[in-house]
């Protein structure tokens, strides 16, 4: 395997100059940089990242923690993060908590032990946010939280405006004349709590008496579609059933849609369904799902950008960013039958 000496010899420069190009820590003439890059490509030189980290005190590794990988919302954000940081010379270490607060803290400790340069936590658990666990973490290592409402967190975060997105979805159902709306949620999440709060406010403000809140358990697990289907089938076989269902993510919306198919209930003729997150699932169902788009790619890019700025500039660049949402109307909703 080629080493840094071979690259220097091939490019006709000193080892120090090659090192400066690799670490990008000192200015080098453009023509010299090009010669070195061509030598690296020709020799297929692979820098020793461990040795480099000892010199630069940087691992060029970003830790990313998610509550699940079944819900395509999270992999889409992670994909955008990886795409952005790769261009800046970083790679990512991805960890899945499965929504377990103890596992979440353990994974954080493991990432710190691996000397990552920063950490992005996507939708961390309520328990750890309530305990203010990440306030101290953000003081010791660059940290970004991505969440619908990182309550109590005093560091930098990228937030999607779930309240506005949820309200827009309910307003749309009300415009269609729906007065019997059921809500499907998972448990233990700020995201679901926000949506339930808006749901209850909508019922109160519009003097609607029908209230049905269904908990489908772990909302980001691989079993949530089947669990949602079971509980929705039970709901729809009751004497008074809803004319519309608001699901807190697209996985739950698919479960509701499957329940309707199995019971011979037509969507949207007999019942309307709205999902949330606007993942690829919303495009492949029949009918296609109306869903609230959170601009997942932009969330990932902004989280990565803000983290790299924290790494390079420190606490002075701490920010709180709130991104807009958008209701994407497709074929799963129709006016209520009076």
Query: Is 50's pLDDT higher than 60?
Result: no
Q: pLDDT band at residue 16, thresholds of 50, 70 and 90?
A: confident
Mean pLDDT of 60-68: 94
pLDDT digits (tens, 9 = 90+) for 286-298: 999 999 999 999 9
pLDDT digits (tens, 9 = 90+) for 109-152: 999 988 899 999 999 988 888 888 888 888 889 999 998 666 67
Query: Is 265's pLDDT higher than 70?
Result: yes
Higher pLDDT, 51 or 193: 193
- Domains belonging to the chain, first-starting first, are 4-56 (1.10.260.40), 61-161+295-324 (3.40.50.2300), 162-294 (3.40.50.2300)
Q: pLDDT band at residue 317, thresholds of 50, 70 and 90?
A: low
How many whole angstroms separate alpha carbon 210 and alpha carbon 338?
A: 15
Residue 312 phi/psi, 5° resolution?
A: -85, -30
Query: Whole-model pTM above 0.85?
Result: no
Mean pLDDT of 238-248: 94
Query: Is 321's pLDDT higher than 80?
Result: yes
Query: Is 58's pLDDT higher than 80?
Result: no
Q: What mean pLDDT value characterizes the chain? A: 90
pLDDT digits (tens, 9 = 90+) for 165-203: 999 999 999 999 999 999 999 988 888 999 999 999 999
Q: What integer pLDDT is reported at residue 56 of this predicted model?
A: 52
Query: Is 204's pLDDT higher than 60?
Result: yes
Mean pLDDT of 306-320: 79
Mean pLDDT of 203-221: 94
- For the chain, the maximum distance between any two Cα atoms, rounded to a whole number of angstroms, is 83
% the chain with pLDDT above 90: 63
pLDDT digits (tens, 9 = 90+) for 78-114: 999 999 999 888 999 999 998 899 999 999 999 998 8
Look at 28-37, 226-235, 265-274 and tell me which has the smallest mean pLDDT. Answer: 28-37
Look at 88-97, 144-153, 275-284, 305-314 and tell me which has the smallest mean pLDDT. Answer: 144-153
Query: Is 53's pLDDT higher than 80?
Result: no
Q: Which of 1-15, 34-48, 59-73, 193-207 has the highest mean pLDDT?
A: 193-207
Q: What integer pLDDT is reported at residue 337 of this predicted model?
A: 83
Q: pLDDT band at residue 44, thresholds of 50, 70 and 90?
A: confident
Q: What integer pLDDT is reported at residue 54 of this predicted model?
A: 47
């Amino acid at each position: 395997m080629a080493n840094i000496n071979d690259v220097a010899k091939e490019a006709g420069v000193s080892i120090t100059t090659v090192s400066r190009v690799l670490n990008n820590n000192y200015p080098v003439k453009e023509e010299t940089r090009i010669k070195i890059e061509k030598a690296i490509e020709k020799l297929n030189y692979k820098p020793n990242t461990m040795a480099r980290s000892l010199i630069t005190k940087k691992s060029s590794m970003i830790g990313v923690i998610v509550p699940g990988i079944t819900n395509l919302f999270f992999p889409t954000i992670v994909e955008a993060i990886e795409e952005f940081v790769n261009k800046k010379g970083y790679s990512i270490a991805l960890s899945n908590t499965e929504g377990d607060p103890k596992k979440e803290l353990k994974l954080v400790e493991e990432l710190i032990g691996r000397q990552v340069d920063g950490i992005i936590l996507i939708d961390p658990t309520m328990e750890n946010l309530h305990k203010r666990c990440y306030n101290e973490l953000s003081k010791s290592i660059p940290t970004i939280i991505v969440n619908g409402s990182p309550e109590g967190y005093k560091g930098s975060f990228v937030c999607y405006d779930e309240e506005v997105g949820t309200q827009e979805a309910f307003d749309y159902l009300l415009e269609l004349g729906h007065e019997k709306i059921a809500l499907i949620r998972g448990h233990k999440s700020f995201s679901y709590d926000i949506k339930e709060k808006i749901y209850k406010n909508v019922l109160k403000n519009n003097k609607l008496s029908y209230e049905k809140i269904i908990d489908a358990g772990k909302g980001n697990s691989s079993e949530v579609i089947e669990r949602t289907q079971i509980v929705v089938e039970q709901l729809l076989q009751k004497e008074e059933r809803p004319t519309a269902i608001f699901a807190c993510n697209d996985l739950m919306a698919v479960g509701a849609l499957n329940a309707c198919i199995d019971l011979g209930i037509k969507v949207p003729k007999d019942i309307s369904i709205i999902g949330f997150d606007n993942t690829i699932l919303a495009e492949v169902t029949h009918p296609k799902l109306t869903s609230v788009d959170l601009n997942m790619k932009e969330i990932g890019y902004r989280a990565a950008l803000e983290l790299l700025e924290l790494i390079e500039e420190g606490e002075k660049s701490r920010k709180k960013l709130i991104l807009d949402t958008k209701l994407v109307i497709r074929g799963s909703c129709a006016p209520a039958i009076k």
